[in-house]
Homo-oligomer: A and B are copies of this chain.
Amino acid sequence: MSADRPSRTAHHGNRHGRSEQARRAVLEAADDLLAERGFAGVTIEGIAARAGVAKQTIYRWWSSKVDVLIEAFVDDMAQHLTPPDEGDLESELRTHLRRSARFLTRSDPGAVFRALAGQAQHDPEMAERFRTECLGPQRALDRRPLERAIERGELPPDTDVDFALDQLVGPLYYRVLVTGHPVPEEFTDALVERFLAPFRTRRAAEPRA
């Protein structure tokens, strides 16, 4: 993340740009507070106090605590959810779904994600941002294995990738966000198996035809 931003030295205010130090302190403080005290325990005042930053500095660069958390999440997301490229659909899907489940249920950024997804239910404008900045990139990564499989001919070229994704990750998110059931590897593996079955059946059947 800091890679795509010009490096900024620590300073106490000047006319030429914001303090990177303050920015990082704010994002970390927000992450920490979320982990320690939950979403309700994240407040602008709390972030400011923990980050050693003035409230005004937060309001200058972010519009709300949700905005801070989105930025904090985006910083972490890409690192965790890039699916592997192994040349085999089943294997890639198994790995990716296992990782996704682990990310969502166990990791700190996963907790941030759940909190943001929760807040999105309360605030349509925020939901829009959440979908654009958090879900969009993630879903783009999710598509990759399927697109590569289509290119390789493992899946038919007319495959509805979006529908496929909904079938593959939908039950996963459902467990994480709705039922709260655990998401063991058996579960994600079974989703992959169920998803791939028709294609295997077809292929097995076709030679006979």
Q: Residues of A at under 8 Å CB distance from B?
A: 38-40, 114-115, 117-124, 127, 131, 135, 139, 163, 166-167, 169-175, 177-180, 187, 190-191, 194, 197-198, 201
Contact (Cβ within 8 A) A123 B38: yes
Q: Which of B117, B163, B169, B190 contacts A190 (CB under 8 A)?
A: B163
Contact (Cβ within 8 A) B167 A127: no
Number of copies of this chain in the oligomer?
4
Given the known A-B contacts A121-B39, A170-B172, are A197 and B194 also in contact in the complex, defined by CB atoms under 8 Å?
A: no
Contact (Cβ within 8 A) A167 B171: yes
Collect the chain B residues with CB atoms within 8 Å of residue A118's CB: 117-122
The contact sample of 16 A-B pairs, CB cut-off 8 A, is A38-B124, A39-B122, A39-B123, A40-B122, A115-B121, A118-B119, A120-B180, A121-B177, A163-B190, A166-B179, A167-B194, A171-B171, A171-B174, A174-B174, A177-B177, A197-B198
CA distance A119 to B127 in the complex (A): 14
CA distance A190 to B167 in the complex (A): 10
Contact (Cβ within 8 A) B123 A114: no
Contact (Cβ within 8 A) B38 A177: no
> Most B CB atoms within 10 A — which of A139, A179, A198, A201?
A179
CA distance A166 to B61 in the complex (A): 40
Collect the chain B residues with CB atoms within 8 Å of residue A120's CB: 118, 177, 180
